[in-house]
């Protein structure tokens, strides 16, 4: 009798598709797809991809060793050159954010907490398997302190040393050496050698992907817009984990459709829809909260200055001499010189780039997102705001995190901001 | 005669304002929001129309604003309460030489708005996602002190003791702090003054974030509380302009915008 009472009833683990994180992804994806009209047909590839990976938990096959990166400062061309596959681990799930709260103080960045939460779970999203190596560039403090914790979860972690001062020659030399050390780490991991031919091939592959991104970026200059920002963010988010060649083809198809839209005089938004440049903490699926609120309220995100999109893909490598040493140096420079990350002591390039984007994309205003606890973005707001005040460009600063409970308040603030942009335009006309 | 309506569906009260073709205020009506937003909004509008001897057909254009703006489907358009509040304060402030900064305290949020000399919103800030420093905070405090909300203002000026510090910003924690102060034998008036100063300092911080310019206009239900007005004036170091009907500025602004939109659409 007693045995019967103490019997443990075996519980079958629920399939991934019934997990909370799958539900979260499903809700956001349905919203992105169903609540907006006339989505580009070529977006179907990306909608299906996210459904497959985030909602069903299907694995994407990859070749060679799998190298997880926690930041865009890890040169992916090197990873490809060694026959390995990079996957960006930065996570946007509120579910994992809550889980990751065990590792970090309460007032920490949602992105870092969510990434830790995901890595500590059985379901490493995107499901392309457990990384053989996690590369953690020493950028912001919260990421720096994550290394030890990720190691504690049973991963092999490599600290990629990254300088804090961008302009100095010492930083440049230091960073070039750091990239070389990263290459020898990859050599140990893969047992392969870095050659001029395989690095050149890797650079050509990312170069083609970047060219496709640039073309997409340029289509967004069109007034009225041809595509919404929520779709553009989904495209660049897919770059985190998708097979790079497949991704490039899909973006090229999307670009072809946008060219048709342009020729047909198609408009994705009303002609008076306020045009917004998005900057600050990166929107990462499923946390597309702010871009979606902006576009639900009748605005359109025409360009961005974030590390989940523009900053990740815009700047190309400029090689002088196609010799291995020069190629590695040029590659290192690409990851340091154009970078507009707020971890640097001074960051005038970011202000210049933002002003440039507003000008080129005929934007009416800027929305600045800072994740609560992301100190560098919070602190840099002041100097960016001063610059924009001087230039007479309206900017809305929003401090938020992954939790959905401030959506009501945020929608009021965003609507009011868009209304004021519309009024400004009316008065100027 | 053509009339234009603004309806502000707030978290605590529904406010309706009606203006005529010249933009003159024809009448206002305020009622509790209750749980049936839609029904109560319709009734509030009808009550005001009856009071003025008007019909629904006389209202040419209706703009909804406030927390429940999307729920009132009969409206021709909806607009955020920030834009509506700015429009109402700008219009009301004209008689007093113009307004550039607005402080609004509502039932569940508080905001500061800066407008340019033509009435367009330049900058605004809202409290974060909790009830600290809002009308709800006064509600809770009044209940703890066994007073009516309307009595708080007078108590502020009574007694001769300095206002007590209320340190908690969270409404729930402040509630237990108030109970603690009562248990320690402190008088109601110094507690109430302390509550007013606690709200005032939060509100002034918000206002300073958007930049205080020229005359400061204070509206929203809590602006009826003279004690709170005095505390904010003290913290701000400036006089506040409080309208006759502080609760209905936003509804009035929505009505003004309804009139402008209607005239614009029918100009040709």
- Rounded-to-integer distance, Cα B118 and Cα A52, Å: 52
Q: How confident is residue B34, by pLDDT bands cut at 50, 70 and 90?
A: confident
Residues in A closer than 8 angstroms to B121, CB to CB, are: 416, 419-420, 423
Residue A137 lies in a domain: yes
For an interface test with B, give the residue of A412, A413, A422, A427 to mutate (most B CBs within 10 A). A412
- Its domain, for residue A127, covers 26-428
Q: What would the mean pLDDT of A214-240 be, rounded to a whole number?
A: 97
Residue A203 lies in a domain: yes
pLDDT of A241 strictly over 70 = yes
**Is A96 exposed, middle or buried (CB count within 10 Å of its CB: 0-12, 13-18, 19+)?**
buried
Beta-bridge mates of residue B65: B8
Cβ of B83 within 8 Å of Cβ of A416? The answer is: yes
Residue A8 lies in a domain: no
Helices (H), B72-225: 81-93, 135-144, 152-156, 171-183, 188-210
Residue A156 lies in a domain: yes
**Is B130 exposed, middle or buried (CB count within 10 Å of its CB: 0-12, 13-18, 19+)?**
middle
Between vectors from CA B247 to CA B241 and to CA B253, what angle results, nearest 5°? 80
Closest listed residue to residue A365, CA positions, set A389, A394, A387? A394
**Interface of chain A toward chain B, CB-CB under 8 angstroms:** 394, 405-406, 408-409, 412-413, 415-416, 419-420, 423-424, 427
Residue A272 lies in a domain: yes
Residues in B closer than 8 angstroms to A406, CB to CB, are: 128-129
How much is the mean pLDDT over chain A? 94
Residue A14 lies in a domain: no
Closest listed residue to residue B210, CA positions, set B99, B142, B124, B93? B124
Cβ of A423 within 8 Å of Cβ of B67? The answer is: no
User: What phi-psi label fits residue B236: left (phi over 0), alpha (psi between -120 and 50 degrees) or beta?
Assistant: alpha
Asked if residue A391 lies in contact with residue A351, where contact means CB atoms within 8 angstroms, the answer is: no
Beta-strand runs (E) in A175-252: none
How much is the mean pLDDT over chain B? 91
User: How far, rounded to the nearest angstrom, does the alpha carbon of residue A16 sit from its chain's CA centroid?
Assistant: 24
Residue A2 lies in a domain: no
Residues of chain B above pLDDT 90, percent: 71
Q: Copy the structure tokens of residue B261.
A: 């939109």
- pLDDT at A124 (0 to 100): 75
Q: How confident is residue A4, by pLDDT bands cut at 50, 70 and 90?
A: low
Q: Would you call B67 an interface residue with chain A, using a CB distance cutoff of 8 Å?
A: yes
How many structural domains is chain A composed of?
1
* Tens of pLDDT, residues A327-376: 999 999 999 999 999 999 999 999 999 999 999 999 999 999 999 999 99
Cβ of B120 within 8 Å of Cβ of A415? The answer is: no
pTM comes to 0.85
pLDDT of B195 strictly over 80 = yes
Query: B114 to chain A: nearest residue by CA?
Result: A420
Nearest by CB to A423, from B81, B109, B120: name it: B120
Residues in B closer than 8 angstroms to A415, CB to CB, are: 79-80, 82-83
Cβ of A419 within 8 Å of Cβ of B67? The answer is: no
Residue A9 lies in a domain: no
* Tens of pLDDT, residues A394-419: 999 999 999 988 888 899 999 999 99
pLDDT of A13 strictly over 80 = no
Asked if residue B33 lies in contact with residue B63, where contact means CB atoms within 8 angstroms, the answer is: no
- Rounded-to-integer distance, Cα B70 and Cα B65, Å: 8
Cβ of B80 within 8 Å of Cβ of A423? The answer is: no
């Amino acid at each position: 009798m007693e045995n019967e009472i103490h019997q443990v009833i075996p519980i079958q683990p629920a399939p991934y598709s019934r997990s909370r994180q799958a539900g979260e992804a499903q809700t956001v994806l349905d919203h992105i797809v169903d609540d907006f009209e006339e989505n580009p047909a070529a977006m179907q590839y990306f909608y299906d991809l996210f459904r497959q990976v985030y909602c069903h938990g299907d694995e994407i096959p990859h070749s060679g060793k799998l190298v997880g990166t926690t930041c865009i400062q890890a040169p992916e061309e090197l990873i490809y050159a060694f026959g390995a596959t990079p996957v960006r681990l930065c996570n946007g799930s509120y579910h994992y954010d809550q889980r990751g709260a065990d590792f970090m103080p309460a007032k920490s960045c949602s992105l870092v907490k969510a990434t830790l939460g995901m890595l500590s779970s059985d379901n490493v999203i995107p499901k392309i398997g457990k990384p053989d190596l996690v590369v953690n560039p020493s950028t912001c403090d919260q990421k720096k302190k994550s290394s030890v914790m990720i190691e504690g979860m049973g991963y092999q972690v490599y600290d990629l040393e990254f300088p804090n001062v961008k302009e100095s020659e010492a930083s440049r030399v230091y960073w070039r050496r750091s990239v070389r050390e990263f290459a020898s780490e990859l050599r140990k991991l893969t047992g392969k050698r870095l050659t001029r031919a395989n690095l050149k091939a890797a650079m050509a592959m990312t170069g083609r992907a970047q060219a496709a991104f640039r073309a997409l970026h340029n289509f967004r200059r069109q007034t009225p817009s041809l595509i919404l920002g929520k779709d553009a963010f989904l495209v660049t988010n897919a770059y985190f984990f998708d097979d790079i060649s497949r991704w490039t083809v899909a973006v090229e198809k999307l670009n072809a459709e946008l060219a048709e839209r342009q020729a047909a005089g198609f408009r994705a938004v009303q002609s008076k829809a306020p045009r917004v440049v998005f900057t600050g903490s990166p929107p990462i699926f499923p946390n597309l909260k702010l871009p979606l609120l902006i576009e639900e309220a009748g605005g359109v995100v025409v360009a961005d200055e974030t590390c989940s999109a523009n900053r990740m893909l815009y700047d190309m490598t400029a090689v002088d001499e196609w010799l291995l040493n020069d190629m590695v140096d040029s590659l290192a420079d690409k990851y340091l010189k154009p970078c507009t990350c707020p971890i640097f002591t001074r960051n005038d390039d970011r202000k210049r780039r933002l002003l440039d984007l507003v000008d080129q994309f005929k934007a009416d205003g800027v929305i600045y997102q800072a994740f609560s606890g992301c100190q560098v973005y919070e602190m840099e707001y002041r100097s960016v705001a001063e610059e924009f005040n001087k230039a007479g460009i309206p900017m809305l600063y929003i401090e938020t995190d992954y939790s959905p409970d401030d959506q009501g308040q945020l929608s009021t603030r965003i609507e009011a901001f868009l209304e004021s942009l519309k009024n400004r335009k009316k008065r100027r006309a | 005669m053509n009339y234009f309506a603004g309806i502000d569906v707030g978290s605590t009260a529904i406010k309706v304002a009606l203006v005529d073709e010249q933009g003159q205020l024809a009448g206002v009506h305020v009622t509790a929001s209750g749980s049936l937003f839609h029904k109560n909004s319709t009734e509030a509008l009808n009550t005001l129309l009856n009071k003025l001897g008007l019909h629904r057909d006389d209202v040419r254009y209706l703009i909804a604003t406030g927390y429940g703006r999307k729920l009132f489907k009969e409206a021709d358009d909806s607009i955020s309460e920030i834009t509506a509040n700015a429009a109402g304060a700008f219009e009301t402030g004209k008689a007093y030489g113009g307004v550039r900064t607005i402080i609004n305290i509502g039932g569940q949020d508080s905001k500061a708005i800066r407008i340019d000399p033509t009435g367009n919103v330049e900058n605004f800030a809202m409290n974060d996602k909790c009830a600290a420093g809002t009308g709800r905070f006064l509600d809770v405090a009044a209940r703890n002190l066994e007073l009516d909300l309307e009595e708080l203002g007078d108590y502020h000026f009574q007694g001769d003791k300095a206002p007590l510090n209320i340190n908690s910003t969270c409404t729930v924690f402040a509630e237990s702090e108030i109970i603690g102060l009562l248990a320690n034998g402190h008088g109601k008036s110094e507690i109430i003054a302390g509550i007013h100063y606690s709200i005032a300092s939060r509100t002034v911080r918000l206002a300073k974030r958007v930049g205080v310019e020229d005359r400061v206009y204070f509206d929203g239900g809590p602006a009826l509380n003279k004690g709170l007005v005095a505390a904010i004036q003290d913290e701000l170091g400036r006089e506040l302009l409080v309208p006759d009907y502080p609760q209905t500025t936003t509804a009035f602004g929505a009505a003004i915008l309804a009139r402008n939109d209607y005239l614009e659409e029918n100009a040709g």
